[in-house]
Structure 1
Amino acid sequence: MSALQSLTYNVVSSLGDGTGIPEAELHDLIARHERLAHLCDQLEACADKLPVWPNEMEAGRLREALEAYVERAAEHEDLLVTQTFGRSLQSPLAEALIHHVDLRHIDDLIHAQDLIAALGTTPTANARISAETFGYMLRCFFAASRQAMVLEELAILMLGHESLTPDGKSLLINGLCRRVA
């Protein structure tokens, strides 16, 4: 289950009890999104330089950043599945939103793994994909990742509008403003 599912469970279970959504969870989500946004910026810069491929050092740095992203996502997903296993949300809209966000995260992970493989190819012209294909792969990842972050934050705002604290709402709105600017 995703961070959105965990937060939404907290929203649904805290509605009316006056506790609100724990801001620590929101800070963690925004911090993960900031790291991912930085990675997207790096990959976009790489795409903008094409048809010149990244040198071996830059490719290694990008590959390591993507591997770290995939690893953190896997660790986080396992933790959330353990915490929320068996809990069901009571709103079909909430479940549909969460399902859509989860599918976007899965797409992001698949794109990241494809980029890791592409960045691991040898620098000989015959052994790697075309610059156009690589550019398309980069753009698919960073465009989709940015959209997924916005969707996730909007969904939390919508689903948690009654139990987000003013500071929590502000945190999410500021994150959205940075992403859509």
Structure 2
Amino acid sequence: MIDEIDLVPLIVEHSRWRQLCVRLERIADALPAMPTRIEIAALRCQVRDIFPATAEPPAFSLHALFQNEGSQPQVKTVLDGLRERRFSRTVEAQDLADMIAADHKRVCADTLGYMLRAVFAGWRESIALETLALLLIAPQRLTAAARAVLLQHMPAEAADS
């Protein structure tokens, strides 16, 4: 069974991603006014904290939750796709943070807005897809409390769709 306590690391991780998305969206909404050096430094610290640069990709918590189901070809394909999506989104966030720090004066507002929106939209989509995977891959293994936690933390964007 998957209980709510088993979901805590993932819920915390998703919460951190949401906080980053809020910061990125706030910067995008303020354009064409470019972010201050302080905001850039804070953003870079947040990105490095959430997505540390390592030689190995971080552990993927959904694989651990679905050890039994992970051997099924369809489930393995979904989980591998979600893991690859995380890796791509991580690289995009790291690149964005590095780019605005290095070329702060050379980046135009339109380019920065496009990059910001791509990163926060991608992370919000990843949160929704991972939450849906948890609800759909092995619904019989989710306790009522775990299901309630997942539904409570379902992104508003996904719930409105």
TM-score, normalised to structure 2, is 0.84
Quick check: which has more Rg, 1 or 2? 1
Q: Which residue matches 2:34?
A: 53
Question: Contact 2:31–2:109 (CA<8 Å) still a contact in 1?
Answer: yes
What CA distance in whole angstroms lies between the structure 1 residues aligned with 2:132 and 2:86?
15
- Deviations 1:50-108, CA, capped at 9 Å, x for gaps: 1111111111111111111112998982486xx79x99822112111102211210111
| Number of residue pairs aligned between Structure 1 and Structure 2 | 156
Q: Which residue matches 1:14?
A: none
Between the aligned residues of both structures, percent identity stands at: 29
User: Unaligned regions of 5+ residues in structure 2, if any?
Assistant: none
Q: Which residue matches 1:114?
A: 95
Q: Which residue matches 2:12?
A: 31
Secondary structure at the counterpart of residue 139 of structure 2: coil
Q: 1:94 to 1:141 in 2, by over 3 A?
A: same
User: Unaligned regions of 5+ residues in structure 1, if any?
Assistant: 1-19
What CA distance in whole angstroms lies between the structure 2 residues aligned with 1:55 and 1:170?
40
Question: Contact 1:21–1:163 (CA<8 Å) still a contact in 2?
Answer: yes
Q: Which residue matches 2:140?
A: 162
- Equivalent of 1:139 in 117, 128, 133: 117
What CA distance in whole angstroms lies between the structure 2 residues aligned with 1:106 and 1:176?
21
1:77 is aligned to 2:58: yes
Q: Which residue matches 1:97?
A: 78
Runs of 4+ in 1 over 6 A off after TM superposition: 72-76
What CA distance in whole angstroms lies between the structure 1 residues aligned with 2:60 and 2:29?
36
Offset of residue 161 of structure 1: 0.2
- Deviations 1:149-170, CA, capped at 9 Å, x for gaps: 1000100111120111000001
